[in-house]
Chain A
Amino acid sequence: MDALLIDLAPLLSFHGGLHWTVGFLTTVAIFAIVALGLNLQWGYTGVFNFGIVAFFMVGAYTSALLTLPPPDPGFEDYLGGWSLPVPVGWLAAMGAAGLLALIIGLPTLRLRRDFLAIATIGIAAILRSVANSVEGLVNRARGLNGVPRFLEELATGEDYRWVMLGIALVMLALVYLVVSRLTGSPWGRVLRAIRENEDTARASGKDTVSFRMQSFVLGGMIMGLGGAIFAHRVNAIAPSSFTDLLGTFLVWTMLMVGGSGNNRGAVLGALVVGFFWFGVPLLQEDLPDFLGDRVFMIRQLVIGLLIVGFLLRRPAGLLPEERRISRFVDELRTESAASRLWRRLRGQHLTP
């Protein structure tokens, strides 16, 4: 998946550096979308999903199957192949990933919180195994090739990468806006109340299981969308493209480092951790052999240590969640001395 995502061309020239940066930012945008989905689930609601890559994979395959041309008999064998427009594939990807969340959530979300984590930890491995072994489903281990580009007519050859970057950034902006609006709304306040104390939220008359399900399904749909964008970006997917390390653990690290419960933190985490993850291989040639040979493992070790280190030392992440009681409190805090005097002279009080 690494090699597919980023062309590790040596950054010797300006052209090479630009080439790498465009690809890198596209990848970060896709990961940031997935991290926003996890932030909705974990950061705001405390819903505990260890199977992110499963939703990502379902989204990628759904969109690919719907937008691909019919399979070439004798060489390929997969469902769908209806050559539908790419946006239709993306919508369907969100639907399919949401359905997966519903199926896993129904038996687990009303139970202890860690049961969802246990139920999701192996789901990606099962999906990979099914995709690899069942004939006539997704072309097995050979994977799906020639997944169409979106808005291909806008640019040709090398220049298309700019179009792809634009698409990824626009989708990230859309997802960011939707998630911010949702989490800033009364609905989002209920989610935070559930995260802090589920019993109190229930005592206030909120159907907490239903709210957690909504958050889990919506977050899953966002992850599915991320997977769909990924499929149309790399144009070829196979079961081995979807590893737990990259699809699940890296996204968790991004959120823990960036700051869970903060949407800007999720995006920042994707950028910072992504830069480390995709940047380290560039150093490989310059490192002494004993390090260079193990660079991928050291990188994985650092990911594990980052999760543990941030939990121990900086549990709120780089950008901690904003504690906001009421906008009137904010107004009071930022009020200038002159305006306070003027307000008092007029005998006005700020009342929430």
Chain B
Amino acid sequence: MDIVQLLIVGIIVGSIIGLGAIGLTLTYGVMKFANFAHGDLMTLGMFLAFFIVADIGLAGGKIGPLSFGWGMLPAALFAMAGVAAIALLIDRFVFRPLRVRGGGFITMAIASLGIGIGLRAVVQMIWGPSPTRYTSGINKAVTIFGEVKVEPDQFVIVALTLVLAAAVYVLLYRTKLGKAMRATADNPALAEVAGIETESVRRWVWVLGGALIAVAGIMLALQAQLRFDAGFNLLLPLFAATILGGIGNPAGALVGGLIVGVSQEVSTEWIDTGLKPGVPFVILILMLLVRPRGLFGSSV
């Protein structure tokens, strides 16, 4: 395929990874543990939207050339609220007791692995194991120049990622809550002494991370399809992007996601497509060898 085409696909895939990694890096930075259920929360997000547009049938009229209708708007809001609520429940009943006990970041990581296994089982139980799509119609690609084609949905994916990343930036650096989040990430004990309610900050981080990952999940389903293990399979690229950008650094996570996405897609120009999943791994290992604190520094 044309290298420019691969580059564009890479930017689209990279946007999805980047948006997912922003949520991951926030929880990693504030909660201090690697959340291995993050990919499965992403899967949950895509299926909660499916519940509205397909199970309930609120698809709505088609929006211009896009593959989905107006129903996707309430569906996305429902998915964001739903994933945020589930994340809060998990924190309340699993992570907080472990935190209070002083279980350490490794215990929480193993617990998150167990939660991920359970979430995948629940998604399969409700929506079945076979892949599906939001709508059956095809999304006709438009030619932008030469041989390069882009689907209208993919414009939305990239644009929405940029808008949400900007919103996260404003939240973190222009609001009091954002300041409290950054303080808790830097030094939880000091933040608490300074009068910040760190438990409340943690809850907001779960809400924010959950909402972002839900949107990333819907995007992933638009770009590929809905599958019970779609999010789990994206876990390695998500972590590679997070570590590349520096843990706890949202801007870094977005850049990291784009680097992972682009190198993964462009690499297929030279290597077998079957080796593609190895690319994020190689990036991760190289990064750990050369600069384990990430390109832009890490708060962990």
Contact = CB atoms under 8 A, between A and B. Distances in A.
Interface of A: 46, 48, 50, 107-108, 111-115, 117-119, 121-123, 125-126, 129-130, 132-134, 245, 249, 252-253, 256, 294, 297-298, 300-301, 303-308, 311-312, 315
B84 to A, nearest CB: 20
Contacts of A245: 117
Nearest to A108: B288
Interface of B: 33-34, 36, 94, 97-98, 103, 105-107, 109-111, 113-122, 124-125, 233, 235-236, 239, 243, 272-278, 280-281, 284-285, 288-289, 292, 300
A122 B113 contact: no
B118 A122 contact: no
Contact of B114 (A121, A126, A305): A305
B113 A307 contact: yes
A306 B111 CA distance: 10
21 contacts: A48-B109, A112-B292, A114-B34, A114-B106, A122-B235, A123-B281, A125-B233, A129-B277, A130-B275, A133-B274, A301-B117, A301-B118, A303-B117, A303-B121, A304-B118, A304-B121, A305-B114, A308-B111, A308-B118, A312-B97, A312-B111
Given A118-B236, A304-B115, A304-B119, 10 more contacts: A117-B109, A121-B239, A129-B277, A133-B272, A297-B121, A297-B122, A300-B121, A307-B113, A307-B114, A308-B114
B94 A308 contact: yes
Nearest to A135: B272
A119 B284 contact: yes
B274 A130 contact: yes
A249 B125 contact: no
Nearest to B112: A308
Say what secondary structure dominates the interface of chain B. Answer: helix
Nearest to A300: B121
A105 B11 CA distance: 31
A133 to B, nearest CB: 2
A129 to B, nearest CB: 5
A92 to B, nearest CB: 23
Contacts of B114: 253, 303-308, 311
Contact of A126 (B97, B111, B122, B277): B277
A54 to B, nearest CB: 11
B164 to A, nearest CB: 24
Contacts of A121: 36, 235-236, 239
Contacts of A298: 121, 125
A126 B117 CA distance: 19
A130 B111 CA distance: 30
